[in-house]
Amino acid sequence: MKVITVGELAEKRSSFPAQWVDVRSATEFAAGHVPGAVNIPMEQVESRLSDFSTNLPVVLICKSGTRAALVSAMLSPCRQDVHVLDGGTAAWAQAGLPLVVNTKTRWSLERQVRLIAGLIVLIAAVLAVSHDVRWVYLSGFVGLGLTFAGLSDFCPMGILLGMMPWNAPRECKTSAVQITSDARAAAGSESR
């Protein structure tokens, strides 16, 4: 595994063309990532190998470097030009380098499922201890559902949460751009 520090990378950035790949979840990526990085979450790396550049070295980025090192080990049988950003985005931000930040992000469905499942198990455990021991079956049911979701990759709770209003697609706010006849003419002459 080749490790590259933030200082080395910031210094060589213009003379070291590379594909920057952030292996964190989409939500983590949206919360702050290195400019120019693409998001290929760690769990999707094997299915998205064709998204990796074959012409450029790859710099793997995560929050601290741990997941990037794991992905580097996954890629090592296929290629030798993979680098891991030492310290990840945390070190990048600490060095005072810019991050692209999406200020308003929603929680990933996976995180929502973990929260709801955890709350149900916690409430069922408290009710089983304080009121009636049969509440423990609710915890067992949630555990069975999570096991089923892990084995089958089908999660009914995730589907249900995906239909909730807070997970509905947001309206795009784009400003209308008028194309003048001069701009159309210029675009037409460039395409010839």
Counting Cα atoms < 13 Å in the Cβ hemisphere of 77 gives 3
CB atoms within 10 A of CB 172: 5
Pair of tokens at residue 6: 């933030």
Determine the number of helices (DSSP H) and then strands (DSSP E) in the chain. Answer: 8, 5
Cα dihedral 89, 23, 112, 138 in deg (nearest 10): -120
Q: Is 62 a residue of the active site?
A: yes
Q: Which long-range contacts (CB under 8 A, 24 or more apart) does 160-164 make?
A: 161/109, 161/112, 161/113, 161/116, 162/109
Cβ distance 69 to 83 under 8 Å?
Answer: no
Query: 62, 78, 155, 172: which one is catalytic?
Result: 62
Show which residues are catalytic. Answer: 62
